[in-house]
Amino acid sequence: MICWPGLLAPISGAGRPRPSGILKVFFLTQFSDLGLAEPILRAISAQGYETPTPIQQQVIPAMMAGNDILGTAQTGTGKTAAFVLPLLNTLAKSNRRPDAKACRALVLAPTRELAAQIVESVRAYSAEMRTSVTMIIGGMKISKQVRAMQRGMDIVVATPGRLLDLQSQNAIRLDQVETVVIDEADHMMDMGFLPQIRKVLAQLPEKRQTVLLSATMPKDIRALADKFLDNPVSIAVAAESRPVERIDQSVRFLTPNQKRDALTEILSADNVDSAIVFTRTKRGADRVSRHLEDAGVASAAIHGNKSQSQRTRTLDAFKGRQLRVLVATDIAARGIDIDKVSHVVNFELPNVPESYVHRIGRTARAGESGTAITLCAPDERKLLRDIEKVIGNRLPGSDAAGPDESQGEKAGRSFRPEKDGQPRRRPRRRGPRGQGGAKGHRKGQGQSSQAS
């Protein structure tokens, strides 16, 4: 494994020295320094992006140099543009048309929503190019996808199961793939997709570029990388640490019955402009949505049992502000990029502690602040402790739970400043801060925030 020269440690974490050169790199790099084609630079400018984010500064040159990449990066760091822009650059440089049923670039994503978002990004960044892109995902008519592939595609964005379905019908061929990107590999693993990914990778041409991105690097993902990546450049950026600092987090200890009333009360408050309520299961999401309806709070649920058109409709209504409350499972919500979500309520705690960070990261985007309230039942205390281990902090209010776990509510506290501007209690901070987020790189925001 080799490391990208001079940029191995972009994160200034506790105990990790920050080489002085990195600051310079962050200040000096502009999109125009990266050697991207003119139509791409114009499209980036139309998006309002001024400077590349840390992950973009590293992934774009490494991909353009033809390297395989093993990247640790989360949603919110600008990772989509980091791999889409170099893909488009390759296409801009050679306008070789793919043969019928073939594609030149393949992006694998765990969920339909993430796939849809990637396609949206490809369209935005290739607005001034003639790039063909299609989405191959479950839950939609396969015949349309078969038809789309007949003429060949520059870029295919797919969920692994449906991709293999199409391949078994000889509707797609993978022998012309020049670059494959596996996005959110750890999430794929959580969803049991690793066998399908191995199957897809094993069928790609040996001479290809492979990019594997993952929010975390568990053993299985490393093993996948060892088998399928060739001498990859290793790149890591911090999680969305800066946005998280703007989130007013708290936890309340409640019995399951008390949770419902608390939820209605939270969502009825005037300051809740738009909220996502997280549940662990699809049935749980439906139950919560029904409860809210009975309580007079309009909401809709998205999860894997809803049809794609229902999910798209619900998301559009939420994005368009016709729907104020979205009830979602982790899988359905992961990777969704919606600005201006004022509240996240964890109605149930996630089984996987990292999901907590993904969940609360739905709020406080685009420079806004946000509120995240976690409702913890007595039997969820262990999950809460796991979350606190991952984030390296006690959640404000968590010490309010006494030893008797069967007791009811012991109100949570917030660690955001009180009215007098003084923080009531600031949790101990550990781990890297402040360099991973994509927001803050748009026009009108100072560059210095990027490197500070």
Interface ranges with ligand AMP (CB under 6 A)? 49, 52-53, 56, 75-81, 337, 438-439, 441-442
CB of 75 to ligand AMP, least distance (A): 4
Pick the closer one to ligand AMP by CB: 394 or 442. 442
What is the Cα 121 distance to its own chain's centre? 13
Q: Is 194 helix (H, G, I), strand (E, B) or coil?
A: helix
CB of 32 to ligand AMP, least distance (A): 13
Collect all residues with Cβ–Cβ distance below 8 Å to 162 and sequence separation of at least 6: 136, 137, 138, 142, 145
143 burial (CB, 10 Å; 0-12 / 13-18 / 19+) is: exposed
Pick the closer one to ligand AMP by CB: 358 or 439. 439
Residue by residue, DSSP assigns 356-373 as HHHHHTTSS-TT--EEEE
CB of 18 to ligand AMP, least distance (A): 21
Asked if residue 106 lies in contact with residue 133, where contact means CB atoms within 8 angstroms, the answer is no
CB of 12 to ligand AMP, least distance (A): 20
Tell me the pairing of strands 370-376 and 343-346.
parallel
Residue 275 Cα distances to 93, 97, 373, angstroms: 43, 44, 11
Strand partners, 376: 253
CB of 292 to ligand AMP, least distance (A): 28
Pick the closer one to ligand AMP by CB: 12 or 53. 53
Pick the closer one to ligand AMP by CB: 172 or 239. 239
Pick the closer one to ligand AMP by CB: 240 or 380. 240
CB of 109 to ligand AMP, least distance (A): 11
Rama region for 435: left / alpha / beta (φ>0; ψ in -120 to 50; rest)? alpha
CB of 24 to ligand AMP, least distance (A): 18
Pick the closer one to ligand AMP by CB: 244 or 376. 244
Side-chain half-sphere CA neighbours of 335 within 13 A = 25
Pick the closer one to ligand AMP by CB: 330 or 348. 330
Place of tokens 């946005």: 243
